Amino acid sequence: MNEYTGTQTGLKSQYPITVIRWMFYAFIFSLTFETAGEEMGLIEPPTLIGGMLVLSTLLQPGLFLRWPPKGFWCFIIFLYLFVMMGLIEPAAYRSLFIHDATVLFQLTLLAWIAYNVMRDRGTAERALLTLAGACSLLAVLQLLGVAHSAIDAKGSVQRAAAFGFHPNHLARILVLGMLALVGILYSRRQNLTRPLLIAGPILIVLAAVLIQTGSRGAILALGAALFTFALRKGSLGKKAVNIVGLLLLLGLLALAAFQSDVMRTRFEETIEEGDLARRELIYPTAWEMFKEKPLLGWGPVTSMYELGMRLGHPEEETKNPHNLILYGLVTSGVLGSFPLFLGIGLAAFSAWRARHGAHGMLPLAMVIAVLAANMSGVWLFNKLHWLVMAYALAALHYPVGQAFLPVKAAVPRCIGDEMLASRS
> In sequence order, what are the residues at sequence separation of 6 or more whose Cβ sits closer than 8 angstroms to the Cβ of residue 273?
none
Give 160's strand partners.
Answer: 150
Quote the distance between the C-alpha of residue 210 and its chain's center.
16
- Helix, strand, coil shares of the chain, percent, nearest 5, are 70, 0, 25
The answer to whether the beta carbons of residues 192 and 235 sit under 8 Å apart is no
> 3-class secondary structure for 338-370?
HHHHHHHHHHHHHHHHHHHECCCCHHHHHHHHH
Q: What is the pTM of this model?
A: 0.84
The answer to whether the beta carbons of residues 186 and 143 sit under 8 Å apart is no
Distance in angstroms (rounded) separating the CA atoms of residues 340 and 51: 25
Query: φ and ψ at 157, to 5 degrees?
Result: -135, 165
Q: How confident is the model at residue 184 (pLDDT cuts 50, 70, 90)?
A: confident
Distance in angstroms (rounded) separating the CA atoms of residues 128 and 25: 9
Q: How confident is the model at residue 313 (pLDDT cuts 50, 70, 90)?
A: confident
Quote the distance between the C-alpha of residue 356 and its chain's center.
22
> In sequence order, what are the residues at sequence separation of 6 or more whose Cβ sits closer than 8 angstroms to the Cβ of residue 142?
148, 160, 162, 209, 212
User: Lowest mean pLDDT: which of 37-51, 52-66, 67-81, 338-352?
Assistant: 37-51
344-397 pLDDT per residue, tens: 999 999 999 988 888 888 999 999 999 998 998 899 999 999 999 999 999 988
SS3 151: strand
The answer to whether the beta carbons of residues 132 and 181 sit under 8 Å apart is yes
| Sign of the CA dihedral with 290 first, then 98, 378, and 264 last | negative
Distance in angstroms (rounded) separating the CA atoms of residues 213 and 234: 36
